[in-house]
A and B are shown apart, each in its own frame.
Chain A
Amino acid sequence: MSQLNDGLLQLRYRWSFKKFLAELLEKRWMDGIIPFGIMVCVILVFGSQVENYFSPDVLAMTAREFAEPGFVALAMAVTLISGGIDLSVGGMFAIINFLSLMLTHIYGWPALAVVPAALAVGALMGALNGFLIGFLKTRAFLTTLVTMIAFRAIVKLLNLEFAPKIALSAKTTFYESTVWDYMGDGSFLGIPSNVVILLVVAFIGHVLLTRSRPGWRVYAVGGGRRSARHVGIKVERTIFFVYVISGILTALGAVFYAARLDSAASETGMGLEILALMAVVLGGVSILGGKGTPGRALMGIVIVMVITNALLRLGIDSALNSLIQGLILLFAIGIDVKWLKHLYASIEKIYVVPTYLSLPKALDPRPGSGTVFEFNDRLKDAETIGLDQIDGPEDVILDRQGRLYGSVRQGWIVRFSGDDFSKRDIFANIGGRPLGMAFDRDENLVVCVGGMGLYGVRPDGEVYKMTDETNRTWTRLKDDSRIRLADDCDIAPDGKVYFSEATIRYKMEEWPVDGQECRPNGRLICYDPATDRTKTIVRNLIFPNGVCLAHDGRSILIGLTWKCDVLRYWLEGPKKGRIETVISGLPIYIDNINRASDGNYWLASVGLRTPVYDLAMRMPSFRLRMVKFVPPDEWLYPNVNWGCVIKFNEQGDVLESYWDPLGNYAHVTSMREHMGYLYLGGLHNNRIGRIKIQGADPEWTGPDSYWGKK
């Protein structure tokens, strides 16, 4: 009955809407969901109110009008993302418009020459802004306000001088150019030419901004100028080019405008900067910088233009039109600001979703219990290596020369050599948080690096990446292709590296939160150096940690930390690809597993099950509230202050246990046998320990056991 109950409870907590929601909200594209929603609403509402709104002809005509402010909105978006603003876009727009008409009508330039010339002038004007703001470090707002006035003045002067001539020439000589006409009212597959170009430009801009190095620099500068400078980004240059691009985009819009309307009116581009700014902010590009995309800028301009256009066509008075427009924008911006403000806080609130886990009653480890886990003092006299010279050797390993390696918190592999391990050097600096290690056939050290993936270190200390990506689970909303927390690895005779990823939902420093959640968030991944391919082979494991190739090389053992189980995954033989449980319900939380010289296995324990923690595991909602309401430093934890090492055989019988009554090895996360000694490492320990093992083979070493004697 109770087992049935357990099963039902497990089922109930297995799938969680909250988890789905949290992972959905976490998606980057959810940032733009509100502008997108508004856009759809606006189109549907006004589309249904205005007759023939969706007929192809009308749509094409409306779209053609959208495109030109669209370019300006893109320009505005780029400057906003970089943390600035460009108010001079309207002035530039007017100048370029005028210039294009001059060149075509007075000087008779061919259209193919006019366009580059216009873009070049746009770039030049942008460069002026960029130079002032980027290199002379003037305020973007004031600078572009001043240049806006200046550009406007230039337009006026030009207008006085040339407008009559343009008008005259338009009357006398007809400017003939298919390119110019095509730009003005041509279509491509029924889509207006300027819209096509706008979409192409926006797409390229989107890809460049969000997926290329220069683009990321723009976001970095906008998000935090000082931090950007600290990481080595050339802030001045980046800002300069942002304004140049802004000029070019504006010029592009203006050329299309000139080609379409042929109008040299002096009020061209009036209020365009405000329109673009409204559209862009409405689309969710933050006015504070560092946030937004070209795609969202376009959404914004579509919303603004649909409203303006529809109200106009509904015959609403233009003053009222502006008022309605303003109110809608205000409302939308309000919602968007609130959404962005609360989105991350909400994700944080609902992200942790604990599940039900009922662990079987474990053997009693207390002194006097008489079990195989009975507390003893066998680690009491452990020799100390590298006391206070090493910060948290999660894993330890020895090479053929008897040198001792530890993976430490600073992102290093520390090596101890010499007869008494007194010589310490930093063998490699990988970064991240190096965890489990293994030697391959060529004596390269394969290291799981938390936060980075799977890396290798050649005998000369050169670091190389093996893999940091695996195949994505397409049925899962959360993108799990990046390897976040590779934990321990081992290498099969064919050279394939099998490694565990403890959890895909949390980062290295958040691993205890995964313990509170206790969901099957981990997986077993295989990397094949021969083909350089990575593949997830087992999913949905509860914090898989230790990985060890069986002595016969036909299967691998996997230790599940929170589940306190050891599993076996068959690599070959009749059960190939199958999983079976070797040990279940240990009284300790499992960390690494390694081979012993007598054909058995060592298993390190990162902590001890306590009755209150076991109870909490059966009460997910209690844990959820604890995570919410109790400060993290006061969360209930597994007892990680009393470590131990146990030995078990191929059948999964636990043979003996080693405890440390002094607490020097507060928790043991790894151990290696080497020439009759057992070496001990711990995630937060300040030393490596070693004890002599009674009756161990004094010749046995790990590399020999895996790759034969050399």
Chain B
Amino acid sequence: MGDNGKSLLQKLTGFREFMVLMAVIVLSIIIYAFNQNFLTPYNIQVIVRQVAIFGILGIAETAVIITGGIDLSPGSMLAFNGVMVGLLMMWGVDAPLAIAILLVLCIVIGLYHGAMITRLGLVPFIVTLGSLSIFRGIAVVSTQGYPIRIQNEFFLWIGQGLVLGIPVPLFILVAVALTMNYILNQTPLGRYIYAIGGNREAARLSGIPVRRVLTFVYVQATVLFGISAIILAARLGQGMPGVGIGYELNAIAAAIIGGTSMYGGIGTVLGTIIGATMMALIDNLLVLLRVEPWWSELIIGIVIVTAVTVDMVTTRKRLAD
């Protein structure tokens, strides 16, 4: 980004994140205009919890999409992980230990994805599509379709608790965001992730351990899905085999709206969070306007296409010089 003599405003509008942030602010103003309840503490908390879940899922997808891959399992993992942790606690395992075991389980599943993709050479789309079915299936089978009640106070606090008036999930989101942002921007691992997405062959020929990096990317994805599942289960007070249907699309949409490119090599944590916020806001808008829930899918779809089109058009204009 050399010095082209652009004004500050021109430089800012070139940043994808800035544009989406502006859209979010404008949207917020519109929602407030429709319904004052938008800014009540209760409503804001609802939005924040929503953003936390979609944000963490989106951040997980961001790293995966940057490498040129995709993970279609978040929705099912929400169900599977929620059920698993619920079962563990039902069998008497203490909450912290149950969480630890669950995260280890996520690591193993991530390693499985990584191995299928890097050793067997299977396409990420197919591998994670398989997981989408397999893990929801396991969740349903192991509960016979019934939700599992969670009564552990510590666990419930994770999803429902407040610290200084701020929902706990927000702290978790910030921690995850800072960590992933740090990894992507400051560490060689992050550089390798972008390089593999930009040109996998050149990365490999430069001595980058492509297999190891890709495996890491899928492991971090499933671990983050696990964290998100814990937050969701804690909020609901139940491990439900039916949650999260379609959430993989929301996760990917958050990343894409936030500027992550499907072609690989481009994407940021900040952008994804803003993208997740936009999606949570739209959801909230529909609720406040008392629109029937079945409209949300349609509207989210339109938003995604619009956002990507606007991005493509403005990018093409910038590059067409």
Report whether chain A binds chain B: no
